Structure 1
Amino acid sequence: MMKFKYMAKTYDGITIKGTTCSDSIEELALDLRTKDLFLIKCRSIKKITEISPKPNLKTIAIFCKQFSICIKSGIPICDILNLLYEQIQHKSIKNSLLNIRGNVQKGNSLHRSMQNTINVYPEFMINMIYLGEESGKLDIILEELAVYYEKEHKLLKKFTNSMIYPCTVFVTLTIVSFFLFIKVIPVFITNLNTFHAKIPLITRLVLGMSNFLAANFLWVLMINLTAVFILIEYLKTEKGKMVFDKLKFSCPILGPVYKRIIYTRFTRGLNILLTSGVGLVSAFEIIHDVIGNRYFKLKLKTVFDDIKKGGDLSSSLNSMNLFPQFFMAMTKIGEETGNLDEMFLIAADIFYEDAEENVEKATALLEPILIIFLGVMIGIIILAVMLPMLNVMDSAGKF
């Protein structure tokens, strides 16, 4: 998609100037002909590319909220897109709005126009906009999407921020340990050897490791980088992604947090879909594509198949062996009373609160673990250095 500045004439010979987006000059000329305009000349101003960073959930939430307010105010879609283009600062959304506006002006639907953009809007959001257009409740659905993405953004941000400190400590400890092993300890032990003191076992082990790292540093670095590269390439494969996604669920400390994030996304998404009038089978089909975890999606496929065969939802979800029992009970009550959408909303709020608590627990657990690890590393280094010094002092005292 290109942005063109053009000059055209009407049947009466009146000159019209303007800017618009089109895939090529030929398509631009055809578009102008449909408006009874004849292209005289044009030039490309800017190429719309998809290399801009993908908008985060906070930006998507703000976009949905502003879109919803504009629709409630009775503003036509094309005018809304113009207003959002002027106000939105995110580059990829700003560029995509030019493309969307051009397609809407040609008579395409909003969701179809958004589908033509690459790596900008979440698939779940586009599907929900389609439902909003079909049901005439686009403003309501966009408002619900704003709440949905706002909550998910807050939860993911809290989780990410809680991991900054442990990761920083771990990386710093690793760098400092390498420096001590390679540069400091060999020099210190060499000086101690001039006193012909007895070298304890722990010191010999540390010194041996230090000499090995100093002599083979490049090889160690290359092997580690190669291993990381192989791991990254493996994780790009479908099997690797499946293994990694399953590991996220079974991870001892971070696993419970990640589970609640997925559960929140799952239940809140189903609530929005069911509230919007989507059938249960269709809702599961849509939610299956936007969960973001292959292991969970694989488990969810069995639920989807059971529902299509006429099975009840609570028993099918129970067969996944992933959800807590209170959610199973709530789902069963929701089925019996016909209030599944309300039950999913309540469950989403519970999972959201649980996720926040688990983030705090994970942070509280990781900090002492890192302190213990740090203490062990420092203790080994101190023992490796102090024991030979004590032997030297002991030998000096005998003379």
Structure 2
Amino acid sequence: MVMFAYKAVTTDGRHVRGEMDAVNMVDLEMRLKRMEMDFVNGYPVKGRGHLGQHAIPRRELINFCFHLEQLTRAGVPILSGLTDLRDSTEHARFREVVAGLVESIEGGRNLSEAVAEYPAVFNNVFCALLRAGETSGNLPHVLRDISENLKRDDELASFGRKVILYPIIVLACVAAATSVALLVLVPQLSTLFRMTGNELPLSTRVLIGASDLLVGYWWLLLGLVIITGLSIKLALNSSLRARHLWDGMLLRLPLLGEIRRKIMLARFSGLFSMMYGAGIPIVDALKSAEAAAGNSVIAEGLREVGERIGEGRNVSGAFASVPLFPPLVVRMLRVGENTGALDEALGNVAYFYDRDVRESVERLQAVTEPLLTLLIGALLLGIILAVLGPIYDIITQLPT
């Protein structure tokens, strides 16, 4: 299929623009007609494939699963439920995706085959879970589990943002204020200090040197920052070893690294528990969940776990052989194997990591705020002392 940009008119006379996959212009017009829109014009968009994952918010997927679960649980046919979702979805891009699902199912495909046509929106895990739900005849339950897992991922992402957002805002404000001081205030004061001929303290000389460096070579410093950032991004995209080293460094960061590891393992454990509960074999579930780890170091550890299980080791022994999971998690898995309730044990692992992430974020926030306050205070105090010290000397030397 080709991605087309189009302009159409809705039944209430509104002009709308959007993008949609279609075979050709005639197919595009027919798809819009099924969405109760009249085609005006359109053209193919070069260099664009299927809708990107970033184009579909996680909240839209949560609503999709929740509403489809409620409709199927009430006995509404899948096709009718998707049609209702298509007509009620406000997000333009996702409405086009749902319209494509309706057409695929009208063409004879089942739901899992239809969503597989949009791999950038519905990943392999999503498709595998739907396939398992269709096979077992328990699709509403699977849709509910997917919705809950997406909500958990959304909460974990919110915790991750909460950890870094406040420090980034504070440090950005401090950097902006310091840059203004070094670029505007300090050069004016340095002229005054040099005119007096007095010997300046070390802190003042360091401050003036930093100001001269920033004023004279700001373009070079900015260029170095941009080149360094682009080089790191290129290396991470082109080299698996560089990606592995970078991901390992992120996990070893003080304070943030451990929380990052817990967030990724919480996401994995919830996903793994859901897939196992849906009837997907453990080895297949591990393979599908590796990509959801979001870190090559953790993905490699999970790959080793899958290899151990494939070699015949039990689940708890395989997880114990990889130093990713704490002993408490391994003990929970061992108890689940011994009692024949491995699905409950996996659910307990997911709950353990979810709670651990929340507590770790709260503790880090309690530590971060006073640390940042002390850092800002020390920085401002140093600048004030470096500036006011020579000014005080000048004032004391004035004739009375």
Does TM, scored on the shorter chain, surpass 0.5? yes
Q: Is the 8 A contact 2:267 2:292 kept in 1?
A: no
Distance 2:69 2:179 in 1: 55
The 1:47–1:69 alpha-carbon spacing in structure 2 relative to 1, beyond 3 Å, is: farther
Q: How many Å apart are 1:160 and its aligned residue?
A: 1.2
Amino acid at match of 1:143: R
Q: Within the alignment, does 1:297 sit opposite 2:302 as a pair?
A: no
| Equivalent residue number for residue 191 of structure 1 | 192
Q: Of 326, 329, 336, which residue of structure 2 is paired with 1:327?
A: 329
Secondary structure of 1:216's match?
Answer: helix
Q: How many Å apart are 1:363 and its aligned residue?
A: 1.8
| Equivalent residue number for residue 10 of structure 1 | none
Q: How many Å apart are 1:21 and its aligned residue?
A: 7.9
Q: How many Å apart are 1:248 and its aligned residue?
A: 2.8
Distance 1:93 1:204 in 2: 59
Q: Is the 8 A contact 2:25 2:42 kept in 1?
A: no
The 1:53–1:288 alpha-carbon spacing in structure 2 relative to 1, beyond 3 Å, is: closer
Structure 1: unaligned runs, 5 residues or longer: 6-19, 32-41
Computing the radius of gyration from Cα coordinates, the structure with the larger value is 1
Amino acid at match of 1:154: E
For 1:1-399, list aligned pairs within 5 A: 1=1, 22-24=22-24, 50=51, 53-237=54-238, 238-396=240-398
Q: How many Å apart are 1:194 and its aligned residue?
A: 2.8
Q: How many Å apart are 1:329 and its aligned residue?
A: 0.5
The 1:104–1:46 alpha-carbon spacing in structure 2 relative to 1, beyond 3 Å, is: farther
1:46-104 per-residue CA deviation (whole Å, 9 max, x = no partner) reads 87962684323332222111111111121222111111111122233211112111111
Q: Is the 8 A contact 2:7 2:42 kept in 1?
A: yes
Q: Is the 8 A contact 2:53 2:120 kept in 1?
A: no
Distance 1:343 1:103 in 2: 38
The 1:285–1:217 alpha-carbon spacing in structure 2 relative to 1, beyond 3 Å, is: closer
Q: How many Å apart are 1:118 and its aligned residue?
A: 4.4
Q: Is the 8 A contact 1:4 1:22 kept in 2?
A: no
The 1:91–1:239 alpha-carbon spacing in structure 2 relative to 1, beyond 3 Å, is: farther
Q: How many Å apart are 1:28 and its aligned residue?
A: 8.9
1:316-371 per-residue CA deviation (whole Å, 9 max, x = no partner) reads 21222111111011111111112111011112112111111111122222222322
Count residues in correspondence: 374
Secondary structure of 1:255's match?
Answer: helix
Secondary structure of 2:293's match?
Answer: coil
Distance 1:44 1:111 in 2: 32
* TM-score, structure 2 normalization: 0.85
Distance 2:378 2:27 in 1: 69
Secondary structure of 2:55's match?
Answer: coil
Q: Is the 8 A contact 1:263 1:351 kept in 2?
A: yes
